[in-house]
């Protein structure tokens, strides 16, 4: 009765998707446990938005992804020092 199951927009799996706070736009954000990407369900339905706004969101998502990757790959970094 809550919501339809949310599928990851990248890998289309639904069994590892968790709520991941709320975006500045007010949309519910989700984090996929499989591909470690965050996305918004509403974003999928509004894929025809003006490019400018899409760019902003893409930029924002990229930053999010980078910070997420950073926190996930702290161990990698120390291993990559040559």
- Residue 22 φ then ψ, to 5°: -125, 135
Is residue 26 exposed (0-12), middle (13-18) or buried (19+ Cβ within 10 Å)? exposed
Q: Supply the minimum distance, in Å, between the C-beta of residue 20 and Zn ion.
A: 12
Q: What residue ranges bind Zn ion (CB under 5 A)?
A: 8, 10-11, 32, 34-35
Give the bridge partners for 31, in sequence order. 18, 38
Per-residue DSSP letter, 49: S
> Of 10 and 60, which CB lies nearer to Zn ion in the complex structure?
10
Minimum distance, C-beta of residue 11 to Zn ion, in the bound complex (Å): 3
Of residues 7 and 54, the one with the C-beta less far from Zn ion: 7
Q: Which is nearer to Zn ion, 17 or 23 (CB)?
A: 17
Query: Could you tell me the smallest distance in angstroms from the CB atom of residue 4 to Zn ion?
Result: 17
Rg of the chain over Cα atoms, rounded to whole angstroms, equals: 15
């Amino acid at each position: 009765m809550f919501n339809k199951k949310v599928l990851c927009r990248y890998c289309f799996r639904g069994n590892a998707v968790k709520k991941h706070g709320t975006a500045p736009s007010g949309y519910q954000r989700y984090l996929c446990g499989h591909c470690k990407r965050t996305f918004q369900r509403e974003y999928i339905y509004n894929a025809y938005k003006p490019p400018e706004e899409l760019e902003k969101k893409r930029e924002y998502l990229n930053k999010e992804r980078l910070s997420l990757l950073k926190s996930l790959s702290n161990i990698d970094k120390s291993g990559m020092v040559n």
